[in-house]
Structure 1
Amino acid sequence: MKTIHALAAGALLVTAVGQAQAAQIEVLHWWTSGGEAKAANLLKEKLEAKGHTWKDFAVAGGAGDSAMTVLKSRAISGNPPAVAQIKGPLIQEWGEMGFLGNIDKAAEADGWDDFLPQEIAAYDKVDGHYAAVPVNIHRINWIWANPEVLKASGVEEVPQTWDAFFEAADKIREAGYIPLAHGGQPWQDATVFEVVMMGIGGGDFYRKAFVELDPEALTSDTMIESLETFKKLRGTMDDNIAGRDWNIATSMVINGKAAMQIMGDWAKGEFTAAGMTPGEDYECVAPPMTEHMFSYNTDSLAMFDVDDAGQQQAQLDLASLVLSPDFQASFNQAKGSIPVRLDVPLDDFDACAKASREAFDVAMDEGGLVPSLAHGMAVSDSQQGAVFDVITNFFNDPDMTAETAAERLVSAVRAAE
């Protein structure tokens, strides 16, 4: 009976636009690459089918750094968009500043708390009330590989230890290919580093270092080993990484110029857009020592406080659409992620998505589920920026030792508190 009542309430919510004035809402996001843009357009089409108008405000730039700069400027000038893509603790920061609205009406009508993972839902609440809607779950710790390049290099499989990885990299280089495609941007450097660190240190160490920012963890032998391994990876990349966008690095794997890339599963959207099939045209494999771990990032759409009744209804309709089972399936298949609704079956999803969901379940049970620092899920914006600065400087300075970098991590995050 509870389910029947919830379905009825949800139907009333999504049809309420007929009783309220349809509205235009501006949506700020950074879904601009091929696979991402296709996914965003699905949501736009569904919202406009409800009678509203989606005013697209796309700001290119990996990980949303540019979009957040634009959002801050708009908010300071008193003209924020009605909806903005925001992640993790940053949602609470915007809420505490009084910018966000309340979409509990949508959450209660559709029973969000019945199907959302508690760890994920907590990010979207401000003072116990929903202010944002989660769209998906991304797995950060993936290696994307071109099997033809590996075979041509005499490498039988994606390496599962770092020692094996560096041995394979030598073979790939000798065969005339780039072992690891990478874009030299701070968030991409941090992505690779956190993947290395989580494999070497495990879930508990990762949380001490990158969630609690514990000084002992940040200067430990485990951290030193992680930093040294990370820096060694620079030698497996080409000389032209500076400023390269992530999707350009992905295209290097797609086009057979590079063997592998360490990147979150939005990279899969690029392979999909290129008409490639996992297990045949490309491989998706957990990086060394992270098979049963899951570093996650969740895209959320935060609803800014608006006075217009039509815009308020449009926000509620958008939130309801985002978590509808059919949209969860179609969007995440295009985006490369997995549904944030754990009750959406993955029968029609590809092998990589099914492997991601299996890893998510195992990580939840075994303590390997960790929030991505590189992708805004672990610490504050200022603390994340402090870590980025140290990691990128260390990666690009051949003379900086791992010990020096570790000490600078402690000083940097302390200054950013």
Structure 2
Amino acid sequence: MKLKKLTLAVLAGTTLLAGASVAQAAEVEVLHYWTSGGEAKSVAELKKMMEAKGVAWKDFAVAGGAGENAMTALKARVIAGSAPTAALIKGPSIQEWGNEGVLANIDAAAAEGKWDASLPPMLANIMKYKGHYVAAPVNVHRVNWLWVNPEVLKKSGAKVPTNFAEFFDAADKIKKAGYVAIAHGGQPWQDATVFESVALGVGGADFYKKAIVQLDQASLTGPTMIKTFDTLAKIKTYIDKDSAGRDWNLATAMVINGKAGMQFMGDWAKGEFTAAGKQPGKDFLCVAAPGTEKSFTFNVDSLTMFAVKGADAQKAQLTLAGAVMSPEFQEVFNLNKGSIPARAGVSRAKFDSCALKSMDDMDASSKAGSFVPSFAHGMAIDSAKAGAIQDVIAKFMNSNMTSQAAVQALAKAAKTK
């Protein structure tokens, strides 16, 4: 990241903001990109909670679902010496900001809220920089879901798959019955989402950690990774010819409308089903991607806290961190977002069957050592390496590249600086 390398032009364009944006007493300014309907509702709830505690809320919303625009705005603000109280940042990027020396220590809020006892250890570590809490998690998304239209399966004479042999058997039957077997959007991040679930299903959690998190060269080029690409090549044959550039929610709509049987996608897809008035377990099924029943790939949104000046501003920041991790906010945010609470002890009463399965599987996989970070969603490795690996997967999905050539390219991409 190295903020000092950003151009003086960016600095010149933002100095005007510096004087105006210094946090006032008992005020928090939060930079985020939660701008869709359910997300905006959740932010409004957090604002209400903060105002009830006597803390004013200054919203700094930057549109753009993947957050690139928000990160550009954040870098400019930090350079200008006027960092917001908190920003929506996740995964290894938290460590990158920590290395810049611009984050706040929020151990006091974590101690008061007993975060260490409430969070899975792997999640707690991601929220810390050099052993100190600097970020508060708001949710956990499970990425390794397969969304299924049971009516399409029934009409095709297929059954819900639990492994890849059953998956391809179901895909064959769905295709023969005249439906699209696998709804997919041909965008690099969607290709990467399918790839990581396939790698986990083919090789298991230990292989996933060695190959995709630790980037072990032998694992990246070995027979298990070749088998992963062979499986991916077969999956390609069940995707319709119009998938190029299709947005993920349009692929989900194909499953909702009975045009397609199955889709690999994270639990944000559930929001599309529920918005269409569909009931989990009846109109659609959420099952673990083939072979991944005992594992859980996670994507976590978190508010990372930036160093602020003044006792009032620091106190307001700790209040914000505590509110984010409160059971009340974790419940309302995740009911709106389709994800599940990051912390333990939140009432399960209002959550649907997919969310309850996700909660149980997070708990079990955390204890079993199979709770693993999603590479496709910025949780596992630094952005340069993730981007290079994603490019290899996209090339494989859109060409006649062999599995052998793909693993060699993958190994090379893993060395990207």
TM bin, normalised by shorter chain, reads 0.7 to 0.9
Q: Can you give the 5+ residue segments of structure 2 that lack an aligned partner in the other structure?
A: 1-23
Distance of 1:72 and 1:355 partners within structure 2: 38
Q: Secondary structure at the match of 2:249?
A: helix
Per-residue deviation at 1:376?
A: 1.7
Q: Secondary structure at the match of 2:237?
A: helix
Equivalent in the alignment of 1:61: 65
Distance of 1:413 and 1:299 partners within structure 2: 25
Contact persistence 2:35–2:61 (CA under 8 A): no
Q: Does 1:244 align with 2:261?
A: no
Q: Does 1:353 align with 2:351?
A: no
Alignment deviations for residues 15-52 of structure 1 (CA, whole Å, 9 cap, x no partner)? xxxxx9332513222x3444444434433333344441
Distance of 2:338 and 2:215 partners within structure 1: 30
Equivalent in the alignment of 2:234: 232
Q: Can you give the 5+ residue segments of structure 1 that lack an aligned partner in the other structure?
A: 1-19
Amino acid at match of 2:397: F
Alignment deviations for residues 316-375 of structure 1 (CA, whole Å, 9 cap, x no partner)? 222111111121122222222221112224233211111112222222233322111112
Matches within 5 A, 1:11-410: 21-29=25-33, 31-50=34-53, 51-62=55-66, 64-76=67-79, 78=81, 80-155=83-158, 157-307=159-309, 309-398=311-400, 400-410=401-411
Q: Secondary structure at the match of 1:292?
A: coil
Equivalent in the alignment of 1:411: 412
Q: Secondary structure at the match of 2:59?
A: strand
Distance of 1:241 and 1:41 partners within structure 2: 36
Distance of 2:76 and 2:308 partners within structure 1: 18
Amino acid at match of 2:389: V
Distance of 2:364 and 2:70 partners within structure 1: 33
Q: Secondary structure at the match of 2:202?
A: helix
Alignment size in residue pairs: 393
Cα 1:40/1:227, change in 2 over 3 Å:
farther
Per-residue deviation at 1:258?
A: 2.2
Cα 1:148/1:304, change in 2 over 3 Å:
same
Q: Secondary structure at the match of 1:415?
A: coil
Q: Secondary structure at the match of 1:339?
A: coil
Using structure 1 for the length normalisation, give the TM-score.
0.87
Distance of 2:259 and 2:142 partners within structure 1: 24
Contact persistence 2:149–2:261 (CA under 8 A): yes
Distance of 2:109 and 2:306 partners within structure 1: 15
Amino acid at match of 1:275: G
Moved more, 195-204 or 157-166: 157-166
Cα 1:147/1:109, change in 2 over 3 Å:
same
Cα 1:240/1:96, change in 2 over 3 Å:
same
Distance of 1:364 and 1:146 partners within structure 2: 29
Amino acid at match of 1:223: M
Alignment deviations for residues 131-180 of structure 1 (CA, whole Å, 9 cap, x no partner)? 1101122211111112222223332x322222322232233233333222
Amino acid at match of 1:125: K
Moved more, 192-201 or 139-148: 139-148
4+ runs deviating over 6 angstroms: none
Equivalent in the alignment of 2:21: none
Equivalent in the alignment of 2:10: none
Distance of 1:42 and 1:285 partners within structure 2: 31
Contact persistence 1:85–1:300 (CA under 8 A): yes
Cα 1:242/1:34, change in 2 over 3 Å:
farther
What is the alpha-carbon root mean square deviation over aligned residues?
Answer: 2.2
Per-residue deviation at 1:69?
A: 4.6
Amino acid at match of 2:198: V
Amino acid at match of 1:101: A
Alignment deviations for residues 365-403 of structure 1 (CA, whole Å, 9 cap, x no partner)? 3332211111222111211112111111111112x1111
Cα 1:317/1:274, change in 2 over 3 Å:
farther
Contact persistence 2:62–2:69 (CA under 8 A): no
Distance of 1:27 and 1:56 partners within structure 2: 4
